[in-house]
Structure 1
Amino acid sequence: MSSHPSFDITGKAAQVTGSSRGIGKALAAGLLDAGCTVVLNGRDADALERTRSELAAGHGDRVHAVAFDVTDPAAVAAGVARAEETAGALSILVNNTGAQHRRPLLEFSDDDWHRLLDTNLTSAFLVGREVARRMAVRGHGKIVNICSLQSEVARPGIAPYAATKGGLKMLTRGMCADLGPLGIQVNGIGPGYFDTELTSALVADEEFSAWVRRRTPAGRWGRVEDLIGALVFLASPASDFVNGQILYVDGGMLSVL
């Protein structure tokens, strides 16, 4: 039995930022499995090519790599142009680039604050604006911003990160207001606690890991594959009347005390 045609994104061109590893790599693989042509993005051209080669083993010439700095406006403009030259008109953008830096607020440096702002928030504005300019001409498009559980709640030591992810939530809603009339839907996915390379130290911390399992109704850490269904929904015609929303994929953590 095939899936409902409303979820069909076969043949669409998508760009996923921060996709050389972790969640971004998994989301890119999910879009490839759904039939998309995917442009990977990151700053490390060698790491990006290794990921492209790995994914191409199962998806052939439908996976491409375009390395550029998503925090540099000129690089973004040139990089998005290259992505469309390579893969065709982008119908889907996933703003996934992100960074974390854990430190008590009173010890947080100015440089680290600005780095998180640029990486987690400014990048989504720059890439989203550039791709949306092209989508607007065509009258349709899907932009998915990867927000976070911390778009809603915070813990000690991550105040700047939570601020950037809260800002990304509101950027998502603001983009919806401006871009919805142009035929573009902008939504977010808010992962909870996921087992990735970036959280490996937390997963290995048995006290913290036990807290995550107790605190999450699903009783476990998220797996990157848990995010793919949400992305396919938000990237497909099934979500054409869904705009400005954040879909939290957190095993229920936000819903309970």
Structure 2
Amino acid sequence: MPSSDVETNGHGLATEFAKAKINGYHQDKLPQQQTNGGTNGSANAPKTSIPKFDLPPENPGSCVAGGIHTLSLFALGGKTALVTGANGGIGGGMATGLAEAGADIVIFQIPGEKSDFHQELSERTGRRVSVYDCDMGDMKMLRETIQRVFDDGHRIDILCNVAGISSGSIPILHETDEHKDSIIQINFNSVWVLSQCVARHMVQRGRGGKIINICSLAAHKAMTTFSVYGPMKAAVGQLTNAFANEFGPYNIQVNAIYPGWIATALAQRFINDEEANAKIISSVPSRRWGTPEDFKGLTVFLASRASDYVNGARIFLDGGAHSM
């Protein structure tokens, strides 16, 4: 992106990164994090000043007249969200919430996948919905696809890393390297690669952004036959913290949602099994399955100005199952 296209935010964050192309990026072209003691606290690092913020008035009530109305904090008009795995299920619920809040949507779907979801979403919300085919297990294709998104003029403000595959019901003793590696590629490596590419784009624009990662209750509680899926989702949780730490100085907030038992196509085999279904429901204090609809409100919160001081959070959306 030419330097003339660079946008700035209100915090005076550096935008030297705009001088570097996304491809051929070098660490020394990244804007220095702004701290009193130099970059990352190093005594030898170049010193830069931190942004100046005025303290709020002592009487909170005096903020009301000139402040931002609460509901407007959740508005996403003028924003564009990239959602992977959004042709149904959790991703579909998240994309729907974002579009209903005013955001345009970019969807990454499995190559050749047939779905009317994107057209229905656009017609119902009046938002622009663009679809790109991408194999999330192919890192080369993933990098090429996100670059095509940028080349097509999309400015990504929100990234939702949702796409993933389940490990099924395979005991550790019967797991294969091929199956294990496919889960690692899609459930972890794709999150790392896509977040890196989009974060560079966000830093280059200088307007901050939001990244929302989908983890899992299986990352918190060990589950039989989830020996690859659970650890990879736990890794995404730790990755969320690492991203929050490094991207925070550029006004990019990175948070994770930990879903519990959600009624999607992937969970249908459990729902259809009367015994398994009863056991699952009894393990959830809310005594029901979650639905994609349950993700709309939390997603809009994490994607909007309402969560500008929420960074590195791990939020369970599981009806309380993690507390059992």
Place the TM-score, normalised by the shorter chain, in its bin: over 0.9
- 8 A Cα contact 1:6 1:237, kept in partner: yes
Per mean C-alpha deviation after superposition, the further-off stretch among 72-81 and 224-233 is 72-81
- % of aligned pairs identical? 35
Q: What secondary structure sits across from 1:189 in the alignment?
A: strand
Larger Rg: 2
CA distance in 2, matches of 1:147, 1:169: 6
Query: How far is the alpha carbon of 1:159 from its aligned partner?
Result: 1.0
**What TM-score results when the alignment is normalised by the length of structure 1?**
0.94
- Corresponding residue number in structure 1 for 2:120: 54
CA distance in 2, matches of 1:207, 1:46: 33
CA RMSD of aligned residues (A): 1.6
Give the one of 145, 154, 170 matched to 1:79.
145
Aligned residue runs from structure 1 range 105-254, under 5 A: 105-139=172-206, 140-254=208-322
- 8 A Cα contact 2:137 2:182, kept in partner: no
Partner deviation per Cα, 1:128-173 (whole Å, 9 max, x = no partner): 1110110011230100001111121121111111011001100111
- 8 A Cα contact 1:39 1:87, kept in partner: no
Partner deviation per Cα, 1:86-139 (whole Å, 9 max, x = no partner): 462100000001101221111111111101101101110011111011001123
Structure 2, gaps ≥5 residues long: 1-68
Query: How far is the alpha carbon of 1:60 from its aligned partner?
Result: 4.1
Structure 1, gaps ≥5 residues long: none
- 8 A Cα contact 1:66 1:82, kept in partner: no
Equivalenced residues, count: 254
Per mean C-alpha deviation after superposition, the further-off stretch among 14-23 and 75-84 is 75-84
CA distance in 2, matches of 1:224, 1:17: 14
- Corresponding residue number in structure 2 for 1:90: 156
CA distance in 2, matches of 1:89, 1:40: 14
Q: What secondary structure sits across from 1:80 in the alignment?
A: helix
Query: How far is the alpha carbon of 1:51 from its aligned partner?
Result: 2.4
- Corresponding residue number in structure 2 for 1:14: 81
* Distance change (3 Å), C-alpha of 1:246 and 1:71: same
